[in-house]
Amino acid sequence: MNYETITAETRDGMAVITMNRPEVMNALNTQMRAELTHAVNAAAQDARVVVLTGTGAAFCSGQDLGDRANMGNLNLERTLRDEYIPMLNAIVDCPVPVIAAVNGTAAGAGANLALVCDVVIATESASFIQAFSRIGLIPDAGGTWALPRTIGLQRAMGAALFAEKISAAQAAEWGMIWEMASDAEFEALWTARAMHLATGPSEAFKRIKQVMRASIGNSLEEQLLLEGQLQGECGKSRDFKEGVLAFLQKRPAAFEGR
């Protein structure tokens, strides 16, 4: 498929999806949301890891408020239901790990697009802003779900109410993101992280996503039963056999993937 608002490339098991509207800080319009949804779903068929990043100085500035072709008829509830939910579910349900490589400003829905990914890696000059209250809205795109679970209720409440910029360093300190890198080392870091996942035990990674996300709504007993089920499935995989053999032979494992 030919995309107009994003680029998508797969190499060596790594799919890199880049939001490509730098003139509007990669703001999300209807077309970009549809293309992101399609690209993530397509990458899930072939790749072993997906990286989501942006072009230019921003990762994503959120909803495109300057999209005059659609803003006049914008129904926020319908837009969230019909356009945002499929895009976010594509990331959550993707059977391979999804890394958000936050290359710059991540604001509003753009910040929460990053936070719904499995791992967030940010460059040191990046920032996260829950900008919604500045225009009389509440956080959306999963922000009210992700923030209290990652940084706690007090910090989530402050981020939403005050709509202040959270630096990459502060986000890392709070546990909002996995790690931060210097601007000079950022691309090399996220590429290395992505390749680590692309050459790893894909069946285990798939189930790690499943079991970690399920834990938020499960009781301990439910979670223990799910662990047992998924561990049993992992124990039957070629990756497990290879991992044990490599351990015994004191060599790096050569996982075959899906």
CATH number reported for the structural domain that contains residue 124 in this entry: 3.90.226.10
Query: Is residue 255 one of the residues assigned to a domain?
Result: no
One-letter identity of residue 42 = A
48-95: pLDDT as tens digits: 999 999 999 999 999 998 875 555 567 899 999 999 999 999 999 999
Query: Is residue 256 one of the residues assigned to a domain?
Result: no
- 159 and 69 together in one domain: yes
Question: Looking at 118-127, 218-227, 247-256, which range is the least confident one?
Answer: 247-256
- 42 and 156 together in one domain: yes
Query: Is residue 254 one of the residues assigned to a domain?
Result: no
CATH code of the domain containing 217: 1.10.12
- 153 and 233 together in one domain: no
- 104 and 232 together in one domain: no
**Whole-number pLDDT of residue 68:** 55
- 106 and 187 together in one domain: yes
**Whole-number pLDDT of residue 223:** 95
Query: Is residue 257 one of the residues assigned to a domain?
Result: no
Percent of the chain whose pLDDT exceeds 70:
97
Task: State the total domains in the chain.
Answer: 2
Residue 256 pLDDT class (50, 70, 90 cuts): confident
**Whole-number pLDDT of residue 75:** 86
Last residue of a domain, which of 183, 198, 213? Answer: 198
Instruction: State mean pLDDT over 154-181.
Output: 97
- 230 and 121 together in one domain: no
Residue 257 pLDDT class (50, 70, 90 cuts): low
- 234 and 112 together in one domain: no
Give the whole-angstrom CA distance, residue 104 versus residue 60: 8
- 165 and 133 together in one domain: yes
Query: Is residue 253 one of the residues assigned to a domain?
Result: no
**Whole-number pLDDT of residue 69:** 55
- 242 and 167 together in one domain: no
Query: Is residue 45 one of the residues assigned to a domain?
Result: yes
Structure-block tokens of residue 75: 């129904």
- 98 and 130 together in one domain: yes
Query: Is residue 258 one of the residues assigned to a domain?
Result: no
pLDDT at 40 over 90: yes
Instruction: State mean pLDDT over 145-168.
Output: 96
Instruction: Judge if pTM exceeds 0.85.
Output: yes
**44 is in which domain, residue-wise?**
6-198
Instruction: State mean pLDDT over 228-252.
Output: 93
